[in-house]
Structure 1
Amino acid sequence: MNNIRILLILLLIAACKDHKRSQINESENMPEAQEIKAPLPDDKPVLRSFEGLADTTFVRLADFSEDFLYDMRYATENNFLKAKVYDCPECYTRVMTAKALIAANKDFMKKGYKIKFFDCYRPNSVQYKMWEIVPNPQYVADPVKGSIHNKGGAVDITLATLDGVDLDMGTDFDFFGKRAYHDNMDLPREILDNRKLLKEGMESHGFWGIRTEWWHYNLTASSNQKIADFKWECK
């Protein structure tokens, strides 16, 4: 009887060893586990180059730099006209203006700021719309004569921190009054310093401002360009 029990125990041990060998062999024959990679985010759009473009060509600024901020007021009703006069918010300029803006912005970014746009190139037909709403040359350029905005050489801008916080310039964009004048020194030091930072930075890249609007800058080289009515497509 004892011999039978010993024999059964030996058979059970042998069966367990065979099962383990089978598991080992199966694991050796299994394909290696493959690393599962998370899908990569969509590639950023490739910025365009100015190579081959004439200085007078109109271009969309966002196609050549991702470093600007935008608050295109005339594509909204949040402006002194209280009317939307652009179909969609885009910032176009001539190539010569775009190059100067990108160069100026690079210098501002070294100091911790970047340019924010309120208005850029303005088709002459839009100038006529604005004149119909406010036919006063103190606030809107006569569309027959046109403005440098219509030539693709003027921009309305401010400065913001790299995190997107606007610097205090003393008034909102398109505030028509003495508080917006460059030569008004009766303002807090912080405001005067902010305006000086913007003015000197723009002037160092060929722009000049007008006395009554701290936000408006013209590129000197664009003043001899023709009034244009180029219109961009809304996407």
Structure 2
Amino acid sequence: MMRTRGPAAARRALTALAVTGAALTAPAVAAPPAARAASGPKAPGEFVALRSADPTILHDIRYTTAHNFVGEPIDGYRRPVCILTRPTAQALRKAQRTLLRKGYSLKVYDCYRPQRAVDHFVRWAEDLSDERMKKEFYPHVDKSRLFADGYIAEKSGHSRGSTVDLTIVPLPARKTRPYVPGEPLVPCHAPRSERFPDDSVDMGTGFDCFDTLSHTDDPRIQGAQRTNRRLLKETLARFGFVNLPEEWWHFTHKPELFPDTYFDFPVSRRSLTRS
């Protein structure tokens, strides 16, 4: 079973995380008119930065970096900020409060995803010669099968603003090293001690692992790994989140505010400004 931290440790962790989050949410200096015009389309008023709803939730926005299945920063990810519809962010705040009492924190990998980022994924998937990240993210899947097997699609629920990819981190969170482009890769389903270091609990695979082992209830996942997946799924379910069975990290808050709209504003705090 998973070890539970006491309330005092959780309060200390909450205080430290809140201080860090407050520093990261300092108001930005207003951009001149030309810069604002170049920033692209704006988010509707129903979208917020997750840190404004809960500054204690950890962020590891992978698509602003080269540590993802493409191997480079993804189009539309201008800043490592998590943007979501307000009800989704508020529901995550409630889930976070539940986990903090047990000595854990949520950590988000991806939140709102612009359509231009999805288009980037599609272009990459169609280029069968680019397999630079295969060894880590899809070692057992032929790249020509990514569309047919459902790993890549032309539309994503993330673009509607109520879907989030996330995990659980034991507190106090450990500092992990950054990914170095070109470093040797290890399969995402390898034992946790061998995979790229992540401060999360062991979920049996890494994030964005294109493998059936990533299916939330895959019977090969047992012991502490299965317990960790259940903790994430059951905690989020209490607050209206529905898990995608093929990805232990993928959850959508229901009902969605924009069930039929796929947005394309950039992932940036400027997208949330109204001027």
TM-score, with length taken from structure 1: 0.72
* CA contact 1:72–1:90 (8 Å) conserved in 2: yes
CA–CA separation in structure 1 for the residues paired with 2:209 and 2:97: 28
Distance 1:225 1:110, change over 3 A: farther
CA–CA separation in structure 2 for the residues paired with 1:46 and 1:87: 16
Q: How many Å apart are 1:232 and its aligned residue?
A: 4.2
Q: How many Å apart are 1:187 and its aligned residue?
A: 2.4
- Which residue of structure 2 lines up, in the alignment, with residue 168 of structure 1? 202
Q: How many Å apart are 1:234 and its aligned residue?
A: 6.1
CA–CA separation in structure 1 for the residues paired with 2:260 and 2:171: 33
Q: Return the match for 1:213 from 229, 238, 247.
A: 247
Q: Which has the larger radius of gyration?
A: 1
Q: Do residues 61 (structure 1) and 50 (structure 2) align?
A: yes
Q: Do residues 115 (structure 1) and 150 (structure 2) align?
A: no
Q: Counterparts of 1:46-125 in structure 2 under 5 Å? A: 57-85=46-74, 86-125=77-116
Unaligned runs of at least 5 residues, structure 1: 1-40, 49-54
SS of alignment partner, residue 208 of structure 1: strand
CA–CA separation in structure 1 for the residues paired with 2:222 and 2:125: 32
Q: Return the match for 1:133 from 124, 128, 143.
A: 124
For residues 112-146 of structure 1, give each alpha carbon's deviation from its aligned partner in whole angstroms, at most 9, with x where no partner exists.
1111011000011211112111254322221xxx2
CA–CA separation in structure 2 for the residues paired with 1:130 and 1:178: 20
Distance 1:83 1:232, change over 3 A: closer
Q: How many Å apart are 1:61 and its aligned residue?
A: 0.9
CA–CA separation in structure 2 for the residues paired with 1:224 and 1:233: 22
Q: Return the match for 1:152 from 147, 157, 161.
A: 161
SS of alignment partner, residue 158 of structure 1: strand
- Which residue of structure 2 lines up, in the alignment, with residue 3 of structure 1? none
* CA contact 1:47–1:64 (8 Å) conserved in 2: no
Q: How many Å apart are 1:211 and its aligned residue?
A: 1.5
CA–CA separation in structure 1 for the residues paired with 2:215 and 2:267: 32
Report sequence identity in percent: 32
For CA contacts below 8 A with separation 6 or more, give which structure has more relative contact order: 2
Aligned-residue Cα RMSD (Å) equals: 2.4
Distance 1:56 1:152, change over 3 A: farther
* CA contact 1:47–1:65 (8 Å) conserved in 2: no
Distance 1:112 1:211, change over 3 A: same
* CA contact 1:87–1:234 (8 Å) conserved in 2: no
CA–CA separation in structure 1 for the residues paired with 2:125 and 2:24: 41
CA–CA separation in structure 1 for the residues paired with 2:246 and 2:47: 28
Letter in 1 for 2:113: R
Unaligned runs of at least 5 residues, structure 2: 1-18, 27-43, 127-145, 174-198, 271-275
TM-score, with length taken from structure 2: 0.62
